[in-house]
Amino acid sequence: MAEETWRNFAAREDRRILALFTNALDDHNVWVYVGGLGWRKLAGDYAEVNILTTMCTHAKSDNRRVDFTEVFSDDRWNIYRIYVF
């Protein structure tokens, strides 16, 4: 599947997580820096963001490839599904 972008949706392939950021006062506010794309916010409820954060942490620490889908809302791209290889 080639990377595709629609109006408010994008499927990304073969990327790397280069950095993570979270605010100690709000653990629901988690951002990841994706190589070639920039900062992306992890989307979902508390449990979903917690799982995505764990997956992104492992991907970054092992320099693993990630594929993910994201939606553009609230003036930013939000990752809501990720696959780590």
Q: Dig out the tokens for 5 from the structure.
A: 């972008």
Residues of the chain with pLDDT under 70: 1-6, 27
Query: Which residue, 76, 50, 43, 28, is CA-closest to 68?
Result: 43
5-21 pLDDT, tens digit per residue, is 667 999 999 999 999 99
Q: Give the range of the structural domain holding residue 21, as residue numbers without chain letter.
A: 4-84
Q: State the CATH number of the domain containing residue 27.
A: 2.40.50.50
> Beta strand 38-42 with 76-84: parallel, antiparallel or unpaired?
parallel
Residues with Cβ < 8 Å from 29, sequence gap 6 or more?
A: 22, 23, 41
Per-residue model confidence (pLDDT) at position 26 = 74
What count of other Cβ atoms lies within 10 Å of the Cβ of residue 15?
Answer: 19
Instruction: Indicate whether this model's pTM tops 0.85.
Output: yes
CA angle 27, 57, 66 (to 5 degrees): 120
Domain tally, the chain: 1
